């Protein structure tokens, strides 16, 4: 299964905008329609990723440390 990277730039921009608003004690922020659409698309991508990861078989990873089994 090939997993394409998710573009998280819209959420990073949103977080920066919120931080700037908080630092300047603004009570609200505004998003243009393009930024809102990008956040909505990102939300959909993340929901799809979570759904796919829940439906896939769990991978079993076995780890062996040392060969003798004697812990000291």
Q: Is 61 inside a domain boundary?
A: no
What is the predicted pLDDT for the residue at 55?
66
pLDDT averaged per 10 residues in sequence order, the chain, 72 residues:
72 92 95 92 85 69 65 55
Residue 72 lies in a domain: no
**24 occurs within a structural domain:** yes
Classify residue 26: in a domain, yes or no.
Answer: yes
pTM for the structure as a whole: 0.58
What's the CA gap between 17 and 21, in Å, rounded? Answer: 6
How many domains, the chain?
A: 1
Check residue 47 and give its pLDDT: 85
Residue 25 lies in a domain: yes
DSSP 6: P
Instruction: Judge whether 66 lies within some domain.
Output: no
Greatest Cα-to-Cα distance within the chain, rounded to the nearest angstrom:
63
The predicted structure's pLDDT at residue 58: 64
Residue 46 lies in a domain: yes
Task: Give the range of the structural domain holding residue 15, as residue numbers without chain letter.
Answer: 9-55
In this prediction, residue 27 carries a pLDDT of 93
What's the rounded Cα separation, in Å, for the pair 49 and 45? 6
CB 65 within 8 A of CB 25: no
């Amino acid at each position: 299964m090939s997993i394409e990277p998710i573009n998280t730039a819209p959420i990073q921009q949103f977080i920066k905008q919120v931080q700037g608003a908080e630092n300047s004690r603004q009570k609200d922020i505004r998003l243009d329609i393009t930024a809102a659409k990008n956040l909505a698309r990102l939300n959909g991508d993340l929901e799809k990723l979570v759904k796919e990861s829940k439906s896939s078989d769990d991978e079993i990873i076995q780890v062996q440390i040392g060969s003798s089994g004697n812990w000291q």
